[in-house]
Structure 1
């Protein structure tokens, strides 16, 4: 699997893009994790990875989307992004996830990427704005990988994304990215309407034949103003996703990403472990993208490092969430989220202003933490990588028997 993946990548991707990935993300990303570990040992904190929603606007209307895509456009401009990234770089960070809305609708996106050749960016996109001209400029930069979301067949894509002809327009963007020899990934939010189509070896082979270099399977989260809970996966399906990913990682020549498990298959939450936090299009610093509450802002004169480092709200959120569950605190304990918001006087960071009411309307449900159903990594490289750079970093208590019982009750209830 690994030799075939390396050979395929060397043949299909631009060498500058590969070099930027290996140095800016591979080497420097590893060093940023090392700094993170050292900070934790001395009781200090700043995440090695930041995810930044630079715009709220989007051309699609996806089921279950929590972003205020129909509100007046709000963006984080070039000046603010440069200040944020420069401060994070000064403390060892080199990787940034760029989200939206649709990031390619941001008029200064390419200028932001160009301003930081010493960083690596992953842009979460529907791909429909990746023209040949845009892809060519991205190749010149070399420090960016587009992660293009595909939600299923043409019929399912139209239904999931809320617009007609979605799949064809997305595939054109994917074509442009791959023809420009960009390191390119495909993301899927696995749900009831696409699990049987996209969680297959045939689908992975189609992506390999297409030229994609990696895939990211993440599971649908029923949150936001219109959560579409009927699309959420059952516990047995969550285990099925995990089994599929670990098996295919050891078999297929395509890299595979997931963000909810360590090397032993034990569930974790990147927010609770401290690996990442999220920044909204309004500049609010949030625990994670679906936790739309905040006390802090990137516009604080202290800068992003000191603001996050000294945030009692974020610290309390990480610690209390880790004590309550190894899964998703929003899905399992919306009551706890509300308590934390009220305790700290955090504001609703949405434009719609209904985030607290949405918590009240949620029915607690299971998430990725299913005690007793852990599926360890099968391939040595993924196992080692997660052991080193994507574990719980000691965030969770050694014994969580009460929390485990609560999770099992949620399984039985739903």
Structure 2
């Protein structure tokens, strides 16, 4: 009983920290919208909806269910690029089993009822499943950052984004033209710039996502790089530490010293620029470490299985068979959360990926 009380107390404390962080994020969101966008009224309304979502999560917390404010939805495993070292291309896919737009819409509706504030759309390339993306329009209470390679963004999509301000395109780049084309393919950088120009022209709130490596570390954290994209209308920067799913690319994983420098750089950039700066998983440290398995977020893969994290693709339950509420208490997620203390100390990048054999073992004991 004492152990259960300790877990409940820990979850309550974590929820308060996460909710406060979202409040700070929304304050930045509103300030940026007021300064830069004619659509400020719509964006402010979306941000204010987060207060109601927070209240819903608190009610569930009181009932003993810890609802994470974030969910990652990999709505497809299909992609139109073959990026060097991509974690997703290492998986085995069966596209015929992927959820359709109605099934995803149902999951989004369940997320709304549970008070989930952010659903990050990922893939594959999410715009390949355009009908799923369009379902997000039905849920203005939820913010949908959509992580995309930008290749499929056109004027039609920009019109949709201008009507559905809760969908925030986040375009992946690797740094300059040479670095982006080296990892993503020849000509990708130029197409990405064209997509960015379309978004800026319509004042769409958008971001860029940089997979940070030893190869681009210096290039993407300097004022010239950040200033260039600020001038292009970018208002959110995501720095994702590279995880070496492809063992031949381990040499480009950033060092411990660079991870420390990344933390310093994030604080400096937040002070200097009117934009949102997020480092992952580095920003997890202030929440006591890894936020996967439902502490701060869960991952739903393309066929509906609930997983601790995209980098820990193991599951014991599928949303075709149970509700999202039931899935949040799956035995595997509970076991991963129970070893949270063991995931605090790691070499960097992703604690679950580093301890993937331990996670596999937990699955085998279900």
TM-score range, shorter chain: 0.7 to 0.9
Q: Distance in 1 between matches of 2:140 and 2:272?
A: 34
Paired residue for 2:102?
79
Is 1:10 aligned to residue 23 of structure 2? no
Corresponding pairs, count: 336
Distance in 2 between residues matched to 1:172 and 1:264, nearest whole Å: 36
Alignment match, 2:146 = 123
Secondary structure in 1 matching 2:161: helix
Superposition CA RMSD, Å: 2.7
Measured after TM superposition, the shift of residue 249 of structure 1 is 0.7
Deviation at 1:265, TM superposition (A): 4.9
**3-state SS in 1 of match to 2:243:** coil
Summarize deviations over 1:366-398 as a string: whole Å, max 9, x none. Answer: xxxxxxxxxxxxxxxxxxxxxxxxxxxxxxxxx
SS at structure 2 position matched to 1:228 = helix
Given candidates 296, 309, 313, the residue that maps to 1:275 is 296
Match of 2:256 in 1: 235
Give the unaligned 5+ runs of structure 2. Answer: 1-24
Q: CA offset at residue 147 of structure 1? A: 0.6
Query: SS at the partner of 2:338?
Result: helix
Q: Which residue of structure 2 lines up, in the alignment, with residue 362 of structure 1?
A: none
**TM-score (structure 2 length as normaliser):** 0.83
d(CA) in 1 for partners of 2:41 and 2:221?
31
Aligned to 2:119: 96
Matches within 5 A, 1:52-71: 52-68=73-89, 71=93
Flag the 1:304–1:4 CA change in 2: closer, same or farther, 3 A.
Answer: closer
Cα deviation code 1:87-106 (max 9, x no counterpart): 22122224211101111111
Tell me the equivalent position of 1:313. 332
The corresponding residue for 1:188 is 210
Residue aligned with 1:193, SS: coil
Question: What is the match of residue 253 of structure 1?
Answer: 274
Mapping of 1:106-121 within 5 angstroms? 106-121=129-144
Distance 1:131 1:118, change over 3 A: same
How far apart, CA to CA, are the structure 1 residues paired with 2:310 and 2:198? 28
State the shift of 1:339 in Å: 1.8
1:260: Cα distance to partner? 3.3
Please tell me whether the aligned partners of residues 212 and 242 of structure 2 are also in contact (alpha carbons under 8 angstroms).
yes
Q: Show CA shifts across 1:45-65 (max 9, x none).
A: 332221100011111112221
Q: Counterpart of 1:50 in 2: which secondary structure? A: strand
CA 30–272 in structure 1, closer or farther in 2 if over 3 Å, else same: farther
Q: Which runs of 5+ in 1 are unaligned?
A: 345-414
Taking the TM superposition and a 5 Å limit, the aligned residue runs for 1:149-168 are 149-161=172-184, 163-168=185-190
Q: Deviations for 1:317-358, whole angstroms, at most 9, x for unmatched residues?
A: 1221334425533344233223212222xxxxxxxxxxxxxx
- In 2, the alpha carbon distance for the partners of 1:144 and 1:198 equals 25
Report if the CA contact (8 A) 1:76-1:283 is conserved.
yes
Q: How much does 1:280 deviate?
A: 0.5
The question of 1:303 aligning with 2:323 is answered yes
Contact preservation (8 Å) 2:181, 2:189: yes
Q: 1:133 aligns with which of 148, 152, 156?
A: 156
SS in 2 for 1:296: coil
Does 2:334 match 1:340? no
TM-score, normalisation: structure 1: 0.74
Matched position secondary structure for 2:68:
coil
